[in-house]
Amino acid sequence: MPTTGTPTSLSQGSRTRGGIGESTLRPDGTLKVTGEFAYSSDMWHEDMLWGHTLRSTVAHAEIRSIDIAEALATPGVHAVLTYDDLPAPVKNYGLEIQDTPVLAHGKVRHHGEPVALVAADHPETARRAAAKIRVDYAELPVVTDEASATAPGAPLVHEGRGDHHSGHVPHPNIVHRQPIVRGDAGEAAARADVIVSGDYVFGMQDQAFLGPESGLAVPAEDGGVDLYVATQWLHSDLRQIAPVLGLPEEKIRMTLSGVGGAFGGREDLSMQIHGCLLALRTGKPVKMVYNRFESFFGHVHRHPAKLWYEHGATRDGRITHMRCRIVLDGGAYASSSPAVVGNAASLSAGPYAIDHVDIEALALYTNNPPCGAMRGFGAVQACFAYEAQMDRLAAALDMDPVEFRQLNAMEQGTLMPTGQPVDSPAPVAELLRRVKARPLPPEQQWLVAGEEADVRALPGGLSNTTHGEGVVRGVGYAVGIKNVGFSEGFDDYSTARVRLEVIAGEPVAVVHTAMAEVGQGGVTVHAQIARTELGVAQVTIQPADTRVGSAGSTSASRQTYVTGGAVKHACEAVREKVLERGRRLFGTYHPAWATAELLLEGGKVVTDAGEVLADLADVLGDEAVELELEWRHRPTEAFDLRTGQGHGHVQYSFAAHRAVVEVDTELGLVKVIELAVAQDVGKALNPLSVEGQIQGGTTQGLGIAVMEEILIDPVTAKVRNPSFTDYLIPTILDTPTIPIDVLELADDHAPYGLRGIGEAPTLSSTPAVLAAIRNATGLELNRTPVRPEHLTGT
Amino acid sequence: MRVNFTVNGREQRADDVWEGESLLYVLRERLGLPGSKNACEQGECGSCTVRLDGVPVCSCLVAAGQVEGREVLTVEGLAEYAGNRAAGGGASVPGAATGEAGAGAARPGTAPHPGGSGELSPVQQAFIDAGAVQCGFCTPGLLVAADELLERVPSPSDADIREALSGNLCRCTGYEKILDAVRLAAARQEETV
């Protein structure tokens, strides 16, 4: 009995050309609307067991003992595993620092840390057996913020650190610290006519992807394991899984299952190692599916942050300098905290030309839940604060907030705080102009045909809390800058295998990469690139797995750039081989084979003048042309650990928002009426998908503005709201219309001139909404999300 | 316990159902119908939306025993259901059109998808065409809810659409393309009337 739910190839033909620049439809669309698309939680195998994770009920404790006897004796239970059962000398994993125990050893460092595993024949049996495991915790004092983490005698979250950041951090409870100094902020401050400073607080956001962590591990006859899982980067998972299983990487065959969203939350491992351990121990396939409660503990969150900013400006509206300090809470394990610190520091000045900066960003180790990647990755927190500062500076100068931003906006050629020049278009002022020029939605838009109030269009909605009484409108603007791709010298490559062959008389391109399709539409774009480069109508996208080289992560807005670039590169090389073959076979029939620029179009070899030389099918015959090639973008370099100088980034992405809100000032309820956005995408490979990314990113920014926050008890460091009942994400009623203005200013360094787009709209959405609420209420509002009590003062 | 009910027009029987199992669990794990998704198990996200005797419900909140003798429509049966409706079958759940697909407790993974005629319903096609599908995890529940709205209100206003779909969370799209899709399905539905 084979595994069901195994991903299959997606084949798509296109009656039109279906190349880049067209809004071709998703090749997986039909499967997804019929319910047949197999997500990782849909996998099924005969005889499979269900795995369950026992997680710590306290944040920081010594584990005195673990008693599994009763759990193991439960009928239907096949295995109970603890740290003592780990098979290899390597017991920890981690993206950058291997500080995360596969199962807790002697100590837990945060609420919800995995302690033991159970495999049973029914998920409820596994859950109930896990509840019978008796763990004797001796609670330890917790560190929860900078003050408690760096106080004299503070408990160390990790004793005896030896990682590559431990040598330069000022305290062992600081994961990584990145200062950036350029110019002379002190001297420049003396020239400022106005100086504004502020403290800002950014709450902990959850990715809240809808498909909870899940996967199926199937033990193989060679002693290895086949793992079907939803992840963002198969090869990164593999690199972390193999050592703790004590297996060579080639004995762990990973296949991407259907992924129900990611947004950064699947960059770290969740059930991967646990499922494999249970499968290898029991000799049976093991499926693990987190429920929503567990999902809140099963992945890292967006770093909450405390930020202090100071800006100065001259009376004519020029920014003199910026000083800031950004403290990110990394929680109990490092995850991607060091890279988040690098982003927060290097992007802390925003899309502005500021010659004199003094910047410090750091991430703490605390006993709060681990934080890592989420859409926007360090740039989001900074944007919230610097955009608030821009409005305050403009107000202090009595200037229009948009004009003030435009006056200081960076352009192509502007130096980043890191000394790196921005060497592609940076239309910051233009994006702001575009959102500002858009007509405002009508006043009192809740009045239906000028008569009755439709409560659905008012703050409070169907709760029927107002018919317009006490409702005031506000408008706010924000703009942001996000880096694209992995930075700071990381070898950020991707791999594509492309085959061109004739099937049933028609040329077909087969594209195989390990790119994680998480919903963003990478599979759509790969098919478009293959059609454009190889001139075929039919493209088959093979399932992503580890039988092909790494594609890197589906994060950092990088996949269309990097794996798209790899597919383009491989297609070009395949095309060249096909043309060589054509010259060899048919070159003597027509001189153009030797003299003209040749293209593949419409299933034919044509000259650049459009003359048809041969059918592709005839050139290929029975032979397939196949190549697997790696592709890299321009290299980057590390930031200097003292000055922060260095060409650390590949590309930048810019978006601007205008938010229009209506606030019920009596109840503190906010209704966002419209979130207009303008974004430069370089080149829209698929305009429909571009819009989807921009609207989705904008909505996640709206969520952290007015709704979303994981609440941590400050005394116990326990998570208080791990459910969709208590952690609210925007519904269709909370989300406004999102009109979009897309610019396409090519970046000459990137494939087709494209720009990574997924994250930028998440940055400026939040501060635009905050600015609009401030505009409506006159309140200072230095924290996000804004809750009713912040507006009513109650 | 044993539960007998109708799913997508076909009689189904599930044996050895534990009393605590939800309709969603029985559909997914016992009947081989994983189209309905489990994203919160609290009735907050709508990913598991099915119709129970015509009424949209979160199948995670319905105990399996409650569906005894009743009719369930899932995303897997949506195309056939909508096709029958368009053919003049009214709003009733289609009869057992192609025989007993799952007599006896169908083994997960072996049960054929009931209603897999290849034709999509207007709302399914519109979701694809409008770009309303990204990761797609919310899509099955949204489709069932949107189809029920269009059955009830053939030309819904935007406010109607938002109200009807307010129980269905989507994390990818920002909902704009979902609104587009429902508008498109409504417009196409009007054209064909």
Scanning chain B, the segments in alpha helix (DSSP H) are: 23-25, 78-84, 122-129, 139-152, 158-164, 176-192
Question: Which residues of chain B make contact with A45, given a CB cutoff of 8 A?
Answer: 109
Average pLDDT over residues A15-29: 89
pLDDT tens-place string over residues A50-107 = 999 999 999 999 999 999 999 999 999 999 999 999 999 999 999 999 999 999 999 9
Contact check, Cβ <8 Å, A692/B108: no
Q: Report pLDDT digits (tens) over A173-202.
A: 999 999 999 999 999 999 999 999 999 999
SS3 B2: coil
Q: How far is CA A362 from the centre of its chain?
A: 20
Of the two residues A647 and A454, the one the predictor is more confident about is A647
**Looking at residue B90, what is its pLDDT?**
56
Query: A286-289 and A214-219 as β-strands: parallel, antiparallel, unpaired?
Result: antiparallel
CA–CA separation, A657 and A768 (whole Å): 6
Q: Tell me whether strands A493-503 and A471-484 are parallel, antiparallel or unpaired.
A: unpaired
3-state secondary structure A534-577: HCCCEEEECCCECCCCCCCCCCCCCHHHHHHHHHHHHHHHHHHH
**DSSP bridge partners of A501:** A508
Looking at residue B97, what is its pLDDT? 38
- Comparing alpha-carbon positions, the chain A residue that sits nearest to B128 is A29
Contacts of A260 in chain B (CB under 8 A): 37, 39, 135-137
Closest-CA residue of chain A to B112:
A36
pLDDT at B105 over 60: no
Question: Is the omega angle on the peptide bond into residue A785 within 30 degrees of 0, that is, cis?
Answer: yes
Rounded Cα distance between B74 and A174, Å, is 51
Q: Which of A41, A205, A210 has the highest number of chain B CBs within 10 A, making it the mutation to test binding with B?
A: A210
pLDDT confidence tier of residue A2, bands split at 50, 70 and 90 = low
For residue A578, the distance in angstroms to the closest alpha carbon of chain B comes to 35
Return the SS3 of A249: helix
Of A33, A124, A691, the CB nearest to B124: A33
Residue A434 is predicted with a pLDDT of 98
The tokens of A454 are what?
Answer: 């439709």
Q: Confirm if B4 and B12 have CB atoms less than 8 A apart.
A: yes
Nearest to B143 among A33, A36, A211 (CB): A33
Q: What angle do CA A64, A67, A71 make, to 5 degrees?
A: 150
Residues of B in contact with A35 (CB under 8 A): 33-36, 74-76, 113, 140
CA distance A339 to A345: 10
The domain made up of A42-140+212-259+266-298 is a member of CATH 3.90.1170.50: yes
Supply B2's token pair: 């044993």
Q: With bands split at pLDDT 50, 70 and 90, how would you rate the model's confidence at B112?
A: very low
pLDDT recorded at residue A15: 56
Residue A451: pLDDT band (50, 70, 90) is: confident
B118: pLDDT strictly greater than 90: no
Q: Which pLDDT does position A106 carry in this prediction?
A: 96
Yes or no: domain A424-482+651-792 corresponds to CATH 3.30.1780.10 = no
Element (H or E) spanning A117, and its range? strand A114-120
Of A30, A260, A699, Cβ closest to residue B137: A260
Task: Give Cα separations from A420 to A361, A543, A639 (angstroms).
Answer: 18, 38, 10
Please give the span between the terminal C-alpha atoms of chain B, in angstroms, as a whole number: 45
Q: Of B20, B133, B169, which is closest to A731 when you measure between CB atoms?
A: B169
Share of chain A above pLDDT 70, in %: 99
How far apart CA A84 and CA A32 sit, in angstroms, is 42
State residue B193's pLDDT score: 61
Q: Is B151 on the interface with A (CB under 8 A)?
A: no
Token duo for residue A125: 């049996």
Q: Write down how long chain A is.
A: 794
Q: Which of A35, A695, A729 sits opposite B35 (nearest CB)?
A: A35
Cα A93 vs. chain centroid, distance in angstroms?
Answer: 20
Output the six-digit token pair for A4: 């069901």
CB distance A28–B136 less than 8 Å? yes
Q: Do A732 and B162 touch (CB under 8 A)?
A: yes
Please choose, from the candidates A33, A31, A27, A51, the residue with its C-alpha nearest in 3D space to the C-alpha of residue A41. A51
Average of per-residue pLDDT across A233-243: 98
Q: Is B165 on the interface with A (CB under 8 A)?
A: yes
Domain ranges of chain A: 10-16+493-632, 42-140+212-259+266-298, 146-206+301-379, 424-482+651-792
Contact B131 A259 (CB under 8 A): no
Q: Any residues with CB less than 8 A from the CB of A80 and at least 6 apart, and which?
A: A68, A71, A72, A116, A117, A118, A129, A133
Produce one character per residue of B102-116: b if its CB has 16 or more CB atoms within 10 Å, e if not: beebbebbebebbbe
Q: Are A321 and A189 in contact (CB under 8 A)?
A: yes
pLDDT score recorded for residue A13? 74
A38: which chain B residues are within 8 Å (Cβ-Cβ)?
34
Nearest CA-CA distance, residue A475 and chain B, Å: 20
Fold annotation for A10-16+493-632: Aldehyde Oxidoreductase; domain 4 (3.30.365)
DSSP code at position B88: I
Give residue A14's pLDDT. Answer: 64
Q: Which two tokens stand for residue A766?
A: 């939040």
Q: Report chain A residues whose CB lies below 8 A from the CB of B177.
A: 688, 691-692, 695
Tens digits of per-residue pLDDT, A663-715?
999 999 999 999 999 999 999 999 999 999 999 999 999 999 999 999 999 99
Residue A249 near residue A276 (C-beta atoms within 8 A): no
Q: Who's near A147: CB < 8 A, 6+ residues apart?
A: none
Whether B180 and chain A come into contact, CB under 8 Å, resolves to: no
Minimum-distance CB partner of A692 among B32, B134, B168: B134
A457: nearest CB among B140, B159, B175: B159
A427 vs B24: CA distance, rounded Å? 49
CA angle (A571, A572, A573) in 5-degree steps:
90
CA angle B86, B90, B93 (to 5 degrees): 100
On whether the CB atoms of residues A448 and A454 are closer than 8 A, the answer is yes
pLDDT of residue A11: 85
Instruction: Return d(Cα A140, Cα A58) in angstroms, integer.
Output: 9
Structural domains of chain B ordered from first start: 3-75 (3.10.20.30), 122-192 (1.10.150.120)
From B88's Cα to the closest Cα of chain A, the distance in A is 22
Phi then psi for B124, rounded to 5 degrees? -65, -45
Query: What is the pLDDT averaged over residues A144-167?
Result: 97
Select the residue from A22, A23, A33 to test the B interface by mutation, using most B Cβ atoms within 10 A.
A33
CB contact under 8 A, B176 and A691: yes
pLDDT for B102: 34
Look at residue B163 in the predicted model and tell me its pLDDT: 96
Q: How far is B93 from chain A (nearest CA, A)?
A: 17
What mean pLDDT value characterizes chain A?
97
Q: Measured between alpha carbons, how far is A463 from A455 in angstroms, rounded to an integer?
A: 8
Output the six-digit token pair for A493.
């490559």
Tell me if A732 sits within 8 A of B165, measured CB to CB: yes
The model's pLDDT over A362-406, given as tens digits with 9 standing for 90+, comes to 999 999 999 999 999 999 999 999 999 999 999 999 999 999 999
Average pLDDT estimate for A26-35: 97
Cβ atoms within 10 Å, residue A211:
31
Residues of A in contact with B176 (CB under 8 A): 691, 695, 735, 737-738
End-to-end CA distance of chain A: 62
Say yes or no: B120 contacts chain A, CB-CB below 8 A.
yes
Q: Which fold has domain A146-206+301-379?
A: Aldehyde Oxidoreductase; domain 4 (3.30.365)
Give the pLDDT confidence score for residue A335 in this predicted structure: 98
Burial of A610 (0-12, 13-18, 19+ CB in 10 A): exposed
| Cβ contacts of B36 on chain A, cutoff 8 Å | 35
ipTM score: 0.97
- Looking at residue A236, the DSSP 8-state letter turns out to be H
Write the residue in B124, B131, B140 that is nearest to A691 by C-beta: B131
- The whole-angstrom distance between A558's CA and the closest CA on chain B is 17
Out of B28, B47, B133, closest to residue A33 by CB: B133
At residue A698, the pLDDT reads 98
Contact A696 B120 (CB under 8 A): no
pTM: 0.96
Residue of B176, B178, B180 to mutate for A, most A C-beta atoms under 10 A: B176
| Tokens representing residue A459 in the block | 């703050």
Work out the average pLDDT over A127-147.
98
- The whole-number pLDDT of residue A794 equals 84
Give me the DSSP letters along B92-116.
Answer: SPP--TT--SBSS-PPTTTS--TT-
Is it true that A10-16+493-632 and A424-482+651-792 share their CATH fold?
yes
Count CB neighbours of A186 within 10 A: 11
pLDDT higher than threshold 60 for residue B111: no
pLDDT score at B101: 34
Identify whether the C-beta of residue A249 lies closer than 8 Å to the C-beta of residue A225. Answer: no
> A423: distance to nearest CA of chain B, Å?
31
pLDDT score for A409: 98
Cα of B138 to nearest chain A Cα, Å? 7
- Nearest to residue A554, comparing CAs of A375, A719, A315, A721? A375
Least CB–CB distance from A33: residue in B120, B173, B176: B120
Q: Which residues contact A588 (CB under 8 A, 6 or more apart)?
A: none
Span A147-157, average pLDDT: 97
Tokens of A632: 């890299």
Contact call for A23 and B109, based on CB within 8 A: no
Q: Is A87 helix (H, G, I), strand (E, B) or coil?
A: coil
Mutate one of A34, A257, A707 to test the B interface: name it (highest B CB count within 10 A). Answer: A34
